[in-house]
């Protein structure tokens, strides 16, 4: 492929101050897949924090997910059905070194199609936290094209300096 022709940054947001949520809106339907890359922490003081995503700000209970996670000692799996969000990964918290963000990569497939439900895959590295390694598959039972992503921590705020970038991948 021609270098760079199919992997396009749609928007990036580096938080200048703490924020309870972040939204990518008006996402064009001209790509095949979306990739969200996050470098973030929360100001939550707990040992293990998570973040969630809602598509098109939809808070109805039509999300489900299956997660696999490791804490450095044991591997566990969890399953949620009929929830109102896609709990998409782990975050480093204020108990972490203040120079250690987590890394999350979320692949959202066929986000613009209007005939099938939407699935996403997440890889999350929160290396300082209780649940350090996290992989997840998410289902949003809607045929609506995804035009916005609402991202928020389950408690606290994203700290200043957190970086969120959304890429579009075109199949051709």
3 belongs to the binding site for another protein (CB under 8 A): yes
From 66, 94, 119, 128, residue interacting with another protein (rule: CB under 8 A): 128
What mask, x for binding another protein by CB under 8 A, covers residues 53 to 72?
Answer: ---------------xxxxx
Radius of gyration of the chain (CA): 16
Q: Are 116 and 39 in contact (CB under 8 A)?
A: no
Q: Cα 79 to chain center, whole Å?
A: 17
DSSP code per residue over 85-121: SEEEEEEB-TTS-TT--EEEEEEETTTT-SSS-EEEE
DSSP code per residue over 17-65: S-BS-EEE-S--S-SSEEEEEEEEBB---SS-EEEEEEETT--SS-EEE
Segment interacting with another protein, rule: CB under 8 A, options 26-34, 42-50, 118-126, 143-151: 118-126
Closer residue to another protein, CB minimum distance, 29 or 72? 72
Give the span between the Cα atoms of 172 and 170, in whole angstroms: 5
30 belongs to the binding site for another protein (CB under 8 A): no
From 15, 19, 32, 39, residue interacting with another protein (rule: CB under 8 A): 39
8 belongs to the binding site for another protein (CB under 8 A): yes
121 belongs to the binding site for another protein (CB under 8 A): no
Segment interacting with another protein, rule: CB under 8 A, options 53-61, 73-81, 106-114, 145-153: 73-81
Q: Are 109 and 100 in contact (CB under 8 A)?
A: no
146 belongs to the binding site for another protein (CB under 8 A): no
Closer residue to another protein, CB minimum distance, 8 or 110? 8
Give the span between the Cα atoms of 100 and 86, in whole angstroms: 24
Binding site for another protein (CB under 8 A): 3-9, 12, 37, 39, 68-75, 77, 92, 97, 99-103, 105, 123-128, 132-135, 163, 165, 167
């Amino acid at each position: 492929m021609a270098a760079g022709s199919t992997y396009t940054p749609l928007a990036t947001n580096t938080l200048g101050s703490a924020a309870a949520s972040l939204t990518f809106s008006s996402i064009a339907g001209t790509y095949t897949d979306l990739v969200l890359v996050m470098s973030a922490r929360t100001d939550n003081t707990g040992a293990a924090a998570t973040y969630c995503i809602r598509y098109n700000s939809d808070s109805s209970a039509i999300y489900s997910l299956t997660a696999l996670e490791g804490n450095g000692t044991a591997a566990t799996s969890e399953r949620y059905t009929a929830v109102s969000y896609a709990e998409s990964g782990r975050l480093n918290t204020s108990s972490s070194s203040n120079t250690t963000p987590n890394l999350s990569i979320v692949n959202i497939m066929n986000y613009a199609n209007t005939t099938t439900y939407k699935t996403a895959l997440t890889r999350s590295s929160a290396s300082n936290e209780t649940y350090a390694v996290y992989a997840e598959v998410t289902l949003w039972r809607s045929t609506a094209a995804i035009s916005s992503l609402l991202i928020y921590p389950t408690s606290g705020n994203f700290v200043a300096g957190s970086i969120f970038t959304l890429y579009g991948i075109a199949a051709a």
